[in-house]
Amino acid sequence: MISLLTRDLRLALRAGGGFGLGLAFYLILAVLVPLGVGPAPATLALIAPGILWVGALLACLLSLDRIFALDFEDGSLDLLATAPVPLEAVVSIKALAHWLTTGLPLVLISPVMGLLLFLPSEAYLWLILSLTLGTPALSVIGTFGAALTVGLKRGGLLLSLLVLPLYIPTLIFGAEVVSRGAQGLSVSTPLALLAGITAGAVALLPFASALVLRINLR
Amino acid sequence: MASFWEYANPLKFMRTTDWLLPIVTWAAVIVTTVGLVWGFFFTSDDFRQGSTVKIIFLHVPSAMMAINIWVMMLVASLVWLIRRHHVSALAAKAAAPIGLTMTLIGLITGAVWGQPMWGTWWAWDPRLTSFLILFLFYLGYIALWAAIDDPDTGADLTAVLCLVGSVFAVLSRYAAIFWNQGLHQGASLSLAPGTRMDWAYKAPLYTCMVGFGLVFVALLLAGTRTEIRARRMKALVTRERMA
């Protein structure tokens, strides 16, 4: 399992894959939004929590089809499915690798983005915390979507359509944490709900993803 | 009537619906027409809303059906996953476009009513938002069916999507309530005492709801029959090619 993780990470880093893609997208977004909306700090501070979360979500969406597509094409996914490691574990590792290459860099760079968008200083802690808690859910849900569309040619658009409504609760609670933090309100309720979604998704969705993957590899 | 499970045999399903479909279709046409005509022409205008109140006879039944059809698809998907009931999978497939249409009718009639009453076509109200999300779920479900060639794989994948989607649809509903206070009024109908609607409106509304339910059943039966025939045709074409 650890070797699978290191293999996936190495592939993502060296094969010029989705590693930089999500990060670059996030940076572009943070640069383009002020250019489009105008440089007024008050306006930017108001929309910063939402923009930062929507950006993170879209950046995650961008690299989802890479989770299984390459392994499916060269047949290594079939080998993984017949390996002694249960497929549920393989799927979880894949999601973890996706999070380490997409979600974690987003979390690390998010303070810089907050700076560019004049995020109020009280909200930084909640931005980092909500992204740390929320992005794993995005990766796990995205892995389910990628497993659903793995066998399809041109599955990219379909994947976005399927995953988008599934992302909505995470987005709502995540952005709510940051915007409440920015206003100095109590964030415990949305934070708890966000953590609940992540915990539930991480615990249950790998089973659905593995089931779907087995159907697709049949 | 035979048990539900015997209708897993498409032949038996076709034979029963042969005589059932015309009856349901005519019942649907009659009840819906009676309900709508009654609602549109034989109820008085509301004290404050004027004649716009009458859109309720389209809005409430279609919104109700939009949710009920998703629940029906959920049950049909479960039946397929657990018992490999082929007709059930096809019924779920046939129900999705109907549900999509009902959701669209609900959204459009709501917008048409909201423009004069709320002064806006659209508001990010929890109910409206949930319906938009439901619309996306229907689209995704239909798109996934359309994208997969093998019928059994398609049935399996869409069934799992329906199950997972249902959980997230409910989550989204509560997330939307949490996220924004609503503009939409409360439930139109309620079993609690002291309900606000007069029987002069309620009677045609109930008629319309029954009518929309019958319309759904008629369209569902017709759609499922089409799916069965389409699959039979595909099998025949494949056999021709093999020979």
> For A75-115, how does the pLDDT look when each residue is reduced to its tens digit (9 = 90+)?
888 888 888 888 888 899 889 988 988 888 899 989 888 88
- Closest CA relative to residue A159, chosen from B237, B147, B42, B195: B147
Chain centre to alpha carbon of residue A5 = 17
Q: Mutation test of the interface with chain A: which of B150, B160, B180, choosing the one with the most A Cβ atoms within 10 A? A: B160
Count up the domains in chain B and report the number: 1
CB–CB contacts below 8 A, A to B: 75
- A166: nearest CA partner in chain B: B168
Instruction: Say how far apart CA A162 and CA A202 lie, in whole Å.
Output: 18
In a domain, B77, yes or no: yes
**With 0-12 CB in 10 A as exposed, 13-18 as middle and 19+ as buried, what is B131?**
buried
The pLDDT of residue B216 is above 90: yes
Give per-residue pLDDT as tens, A110-130: 988 888 888 888 888 899 999
Instruction: Say how far apart CA B117 and CA B110 lie, in whole Å.
Output: 10
Q: What is the pLDDT of residue A23?
A: 85
Q: What region, left, alpha or beta, does residue B96 occupy, with left being phi > 0 and alpha being psi -120 to 50 degrees?
A: alpha
How close A134 comes to chain B (CA, Å)?
14
Residues of the domain holding B30:
22-182+199-242
In a domain, B12, yes or no: no
The pLDDT of residue B20 is above 70: yes
Q: Which residues of chain B does A176 touch, with a Cβ-Cβ cutoff of 8 Å? A: 178-179
Which tops the pLDDT comparison, A110 or B118?
A110
Window 141-180 of A: residues touching B by CB (8 A cutoff) are 144, 148-149, 151-152, 155, 158, 161-162, 164-166, 168-169, 172-173, 176
Residues of the domain holding A42:
2-217
For residue B50, which phi and psi values (nearest 5 degrees)?
Answer: 65, -145
Q: What is the pLDDT of residue A198?
A: 93
Partner residues linked to B50 by β-bridges: B46
Amino acid identity at B58: L
Q: Which residue matches tokens 């415990």?
A: A188
In a domain, B11, yes or no: no
In a domain, B215, yes or no: yes
Give per-residue pLDDT as tens, B94-108: 999 999 999 999 999
Give per-residue pLDDT as tens, B133-148: 999 999 999 999 988 8
How close A27 comes to chain B (CA, Å)?
27
In a domain, B188, yes or no: no
In a domain, B64, yes or no: yes
Question: In this complex, is the C-beta atom of B137 within 8 Å of any C-beta atom belonging to chain A?
Answer: yes
Q: Are A185 and A62 in contact (CB under 8 A)?
A: no
The pLDDT of residue A141 is above 70: yes
Q: Are B143 and A158 in contact (CB under 8 A)?
A: yes
Instruction: Say how far apart CA A161 and CA A194 lie, in whole Å.
Output: 22
Count up the domains in chain A and report the number: 1
- B170: nearest CA partner in chain A: A169
